[in-house]
């Protein structure tokens, strides 16, 4: 009797590498890239940054973001030689909610002013502007400054340049 010898390969175990074959390994194909996309993106970003920078420079230096007419008017007022300040007697105004405002004003006159100005126009403008506001509104410093600026512009127009500024000499709410 003849006995055949069989050679069996060991059973693959978990985690065991498959046996290497005698064939050379095949290189994996690289994914195809669209032609020129990788080089175009940085150029596009740089171009976009240049356009945005140019637009910002225009906006702040020559466009709407540049110094406004109000800034130019303030610069013109600064060049006016200032004279005396005419003090007005404080007056009491009715505010909303049954509250009161006691306000005193100082009118800045230019150096070439012809004496004192009639204060009736300034008092009338102050009464028109401040009456009806609430005590809470006037407690806010930003609101007070805004109202003072508005009053100064009104007085400059009413007095035709004989008053160039206004100051609070008394400002008490109750």
**SS (HEC) of 29-70:** CCCCCCCCHHHHHHHHHHHHHHHHHHHHHHHHHCCCCCCCHH
Contact 90, 168 (CB under 8 A): no
**CATH of range 82-173; options 3.30.479.30, 3.40.109.40, 3.50.40.10, 3.40.50.10860:** 3.30.479.30
Other residues' Cβ atoms within 10 Å of the Cβ of residue 130: 20
Q: Which residue ranges make up each domain of the chain? A: 82-173
Q: Tens digit of pLDDT per residue, the chain (174 long)?
A: 567 766 666 666 676 666 665 555 666 666 666 555 566 777 888 888 888 888 888 777 776 656 555 555 555 555 778 888 888 899 998 888 888 889 999 988 888 877 888 888 889 999 898 888 888 888 888 888 998 999 999 988 888 888 888 998 888 888
pLDDT value for 37: 58
pLDDT value for 7: 62
Q: Are strands 82-87 and 91-94 parallel, antiparallel or unpaired?
A: unpaired
Q: Buried b vs exposed e over 77-102: b needs ≥16 C-beta within 10 Å?
A: eeeeeeeeebebeeeebebeeeeebe
Please name every residue paired with 108 in a beta bridge, in sequence order, or none if there are none.
85, 165
pLDDT value for 16: 65
């Amino acid at each position: 009797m003849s006995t055949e010898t069989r050679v069996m390969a060991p059973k693959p175990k978990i985690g065991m590498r498959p046996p290497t074959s005698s064939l050379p390994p095949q290189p994996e194909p690289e994914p195809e890239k669209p032609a020129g996309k990788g080089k175009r993106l940085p150029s596009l970003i740089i171009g976009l940054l240049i356009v945005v920078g140019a637009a910002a420079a225009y906006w702040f230096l020559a466009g709407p973001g540049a110094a406004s007419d109000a800034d130019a008017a303030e610069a013109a007022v600064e060049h006016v030689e200032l004279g005396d300040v005419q003090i007005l007697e404080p007056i009491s105004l009715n505010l909303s909610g049954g509250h009161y405002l006691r306000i005193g004003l100082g009118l800045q006159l230019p150096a070439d002013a012809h004496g004192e100005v009639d204060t009736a126009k300034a008092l009338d403008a102050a009464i028109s502007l401040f009456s009806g506001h609430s005590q809470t509104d006037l407690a806010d410093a930003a609101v007070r400054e805004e109202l003072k600026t508005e009053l100064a512009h009104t007085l400059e127009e009413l007095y035709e340049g004989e008053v160039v500024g206004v100051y609070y000499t008394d400002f008490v709410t109750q």
